[in-house]
Structure 1
Amino acid sequence: MHNQTALELVLVVILLLASAFDLHQRRIPNRLLAGGLLVAMVLHLSSGTASALLTTYLAGFALGLLMFLPLYLLGGMAAGDVKLMGTVGAFLGPALVFQASLATYCCGGVLAVLIVLFKGSARTAFANVLALLLPVLMRLQGAQLASAAAPAPSVGGMPYAVAITAGTFAVMYLRHT
């Protein structure tokens, strides 16, 4: 089996398992991600390209983490999602993980809108976004608020591994067409 094909097949399995865990348990097991990283390392080492471990595996892993780390630090994403994107990067390398991250952001936005609409909480979600953005918009105009309205309770989280899977699959598909 060609090395690139093996990398992609293993990544597909990892993404499907991560999505299943995230949907059912709302978490992504570290063992799954560590196993994926180990397999990706072995496959890159066996590729015959001496620099593959540094230029593809490590660079892709680092960029995958960096693409989602700000969202984690702001409290908008769980650590498992960040680690999953790092794992995707270890398989795909920096150029493709960058594309997969952008595609994932788009898929995540669509998924979030669908969840909000399905739950019937669009009004609360809109009010929360407005409460978060209003202070920023007021500061940009030089005005200050007497007291910022606190957002309503969250309308709920989402299994972001599903968005990561969809975004990564889209990039992998487009790569082969």
Structure 2
Amino acid sequence: MDVAPYLDTLLLLLVTVAAIKDLESRRIPNRLLLAGLSGALVLHLLSPHPLDALLAALGGFSLGLAVLLPFYLLRGMAAGDVKMMATVGAFTGAGDALHIVIVAWCVGGVMALVIIIVNGRLRLAMSNLWAMLRPMLLRLPRGFTPGVDGYRSAGSIPYGVAIAAGTIVHLVGRYGPTPLG
């Protein structure tokens, strides 16, 4: 049985609900991600080559986790976003997950820039960026930031929306636009 259309439909449903939840409450429910992951694993088991499908799912899950985990550890991203990308990777496999995460980075960057500008925090964002890059650019000892007690956030974004957008762009690219008529 070809499970790809079912995987893609379930994935589209998952990222849509996750994006809506992220916009509503700035949280992506663990139960939603666990249900999506369970559905992906069951569908992979029903595929013609279940072992290959499960290994691809493991690779995608691992890539999604590994690529975004450093941002969580640096407090630049929430855990739900990392878990969402890992779950998306379990649906798609590593190669497609990498494509999705790159598109999500682009979408997230645009979202962040718009939010920073709309909220009038561009100067604060540039100041934070300079404080982070200054030691490296000026070859100062690591952690040397005179006059900086800590960073004030210039804002945050619902990154689940960026992951959903990356996933949708990927799926549209896979199926392509269909001609009308």
When the two structures are superposed, what TM-score results if normalisation uses the length of structure 2?
Answer: 0.89
Structure 1 equivalent of residue 46 of structure 2 = 46
Structure 1, residues 61-108: CA drift from partner, whole Å, max 9, x if none? 111111101111111111100000000001001110011111111111
Task: Show the counterpart of 1:130.
Answer: 130
Q: Is the 8 A contact 1:100 1:167 kept in 2?
A: yes
Change beyond 3 A, Cα 1:144–1:62: closer
Change (3 A) 1:55 1:125: same
CA distance in 2, matches of 1:56, 1:143: 39
Q: Provide the C-alpha distance between the structure 1 equivalents of 2:143 and 2:36, rounded to a whole number of angstroms.
A: 49
The 5 Å alignment of 1:62-73 reads 62-73=62-73
1:89-129 per-position Cα deviation (integer Å, ceiling 9, x unaligned): 01001110011111111111111001111112111111111
Moved more, 22-31 or 115-124: 115-124
2:156 aligns to what? Answer: 157
Q: Distance in 1 between matches of 2:139 and 2:129?
A: 16
Number of the residue aligned with 1:76: 76
Partner residue in 2 for 1:4 = 4
Structure 2 regions of 5+ residues with no counterpart?
177-181
Which amino acid letter does the alignment assign opposite residue 110 of structure 2?
V
Q: CA offset at residue 54 of structure 1?
A: 3.1
Q: How does 1:131-150 map to 2 (within 5 A)?
A: 131-139=131-139, 147=146, 149-150=148-149
Between the aligned residues of both structures, percent identity stands at: 43
Residue type at the aligned position of 2:5: T
Q: Distance in 2 between matches of 1:103 and 1:150?
A: 34
Looking at structure 1, the residues matched to 145 and 86 of structure 2 have their Cα atoms a distance apart, in angstroms, of 42
Question: What is the aligned-residue RMSD (CA, Å)?
Answer: 2.1
Offset of residue 170 of structure 1: 1.3
1:89 aligns with 2:95: no
Using the TM superposition, give the Cα deviation of residue 143 of structure 1 relative to its aligned residue in structure 2, in angstroms. Answer: 11
TM superposition outliers: structure 1 runs of 4+ over 6 Å: none
In 1, distance between residues paired with 2:3 and 2:166? 22
User: Contact 1:71/1:77 (CA < 8 Å) preserved in 2?
Assistant: yes
CA shift for structure 1 position 32: 0.2
Structure 1: segments with no counterpart, 5+ residues:
none
Distance, in Å, in 2 between the alignment partners of 1:155 and 1:6 is: 40
